């Protein structure tokens, strides 16, 4: 778990602790109601009923507020995930993907603050660091479970699990984009893509190495100033003497 951006001033007196809780609650309410961009320090302080100076006594900026809120959410989702996964007996990549997506889908729909921060708060470096650390931890746990269940080859690259987690994250982001309840069609289509990827990773490492690697073109991007390579041309330049007449 990534730490906050600095060692913030911890409230000692009961009144100070109450002020911090009000500020955090106000920030969460604004984020859910109006989005991350609307949750400025000025708006948060006004919603909490405190002056900006009171907010800055405990938080250096709104990024630190966002990070603290997300850290609390991450602790809860990790607890839920661990409890769920411990009871699973995995028999296929399909079962694993379906259970993981169902679990995260349920959590996301019950925790709108998490959705707003997780998908909308990555303009903040602190939130981005927490999100990346969370996905790395999930990928490590996923790899251990998949290898133990024989669903991914033990010699497969560690990036397999990380790619699966990051793609799953993007599937959920797309499913929740502009809505509070996820688009189930996006989840279903994304699940099939993840299942196919993980099933392909179940092959022994030797078989994966002998397969032809994916190739990516190193050709330069089209030069818009060159009529022969400019994007959008439907045909090559005409030779001298050519005519449009038929």
CA distance 225 to 86: 59
Mean pLDDT of 220-229: 49
Closest CA to 158 of 136, 179, 133, 180: 136
What is the average pLDDT score of the chain?
82
Closest CA to 105 of 81, 128, 124, 85: 81
CA distance 81 to 150: 21
CA distance 84 to 94: 17
In tens, the pLDDT along 160-179 reads: 999 999 999 999 999 999 88
pTM recorded for the entire structure:
0.74
CA distance 71 to 68: 5
**What is the total residue count of the chain?**
246
Place of tokens 């470096």: 125
Mean pLDDT of 129-152: 91
Q: In this predicted model, which residue has the larger pLDDT, 242 or 16?
A: 16
pLDDT of residue 183: 96
In tens, the pLDDT along 21-50 reads: 999 999 999 999 999 999 999 999 999 999
DSSP state of 40: -
Q: How far is CA 54 from CA 12, 25, 61, 180, 241, in A?
A: 14, 15, 12, 33, 78
Quick count: other Cβ atoms within 10 Å of Cβ 11?
15
CA distance 199 to 156: 12
- pLDDT of residue 1 exceeding 70: no
CA angle 25, 26, 27 (to 5 degrees): 90
- pLDDT of residue 145 exceeding 80: yes
In tens, the pLDDT along 107-132 reads: 999 999 999 999 988 888 888 999 99
Most confident of 96-110, 140-154, 197-211, 230-244: 96-110
In tens, the pLDDT along 45-89 reads: 999 999 999 999 999 999 999 999 999 999 999 899 888 888 888
Region class of 35: left (phi > 0), else alpha (psi between -120 and 50), else beta: left
**Tokens encoding 141:** 């746990």
- pLDDT of residue 141 exceeding 80: yes
Q: Which domains does the chain have, with CATH numbers?
A: 8-60 (1.10.10.60), 67-207 (1.10.357)
- pLDDT of residue 206 exceeding 90: no
Going along 29-126, which residue ranges are E strands? none
């Amino acid at each position: 778990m990534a730490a906050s951006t600095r060692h913030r001033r911890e409230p000692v007196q009961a009144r100070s602790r109450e002020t911090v809780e009000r500020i955090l609650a106000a920030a969460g309410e604004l984020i859910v109601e109006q989005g991350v961009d609307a949750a400025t320090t000025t708006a948060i302080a006004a919603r909490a009923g405190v002056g900006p100076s009171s907010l800055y006594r405990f938080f250096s900026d709104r990024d630190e507020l966002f990070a603290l809120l997300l850290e609390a959410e991450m602790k809860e989702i990790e607890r839920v995930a661990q409890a769920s996964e411990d009871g699973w007996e995995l028999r296929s990549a399909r079962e694993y993907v379906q259970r993981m997506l169902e679990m995260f889908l349920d959590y996301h729909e019950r925790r709108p603050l998490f959705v707003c921060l997780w998908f909308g708060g990555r303009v903040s470096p602190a939130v981005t660091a927490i999100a990346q650390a969370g996905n790395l931890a999930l990928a490590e746990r996923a790899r251990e479970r998949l290898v133990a269940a024989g669903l991914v080859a033990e010699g497969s690259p560690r990036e397999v699990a990380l790619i699966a987690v990051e793609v799953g994250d993007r599937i959920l982001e797309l499913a929740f984009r502009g809505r509070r309840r996820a688009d189930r069609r996006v989840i279903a289509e994304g699940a099939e893509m993840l299942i196919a990827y993980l099933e392909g990773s179940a092959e022994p490492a030797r078989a994966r190495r002998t397969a032809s690697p994916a190739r990516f073109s190193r050709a330069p991007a089209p030069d818009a100033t060159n009529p022969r390579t400019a994007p959008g041309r439907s045909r090559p330049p005409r030779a001298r003497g050519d005519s449009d007449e038929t």
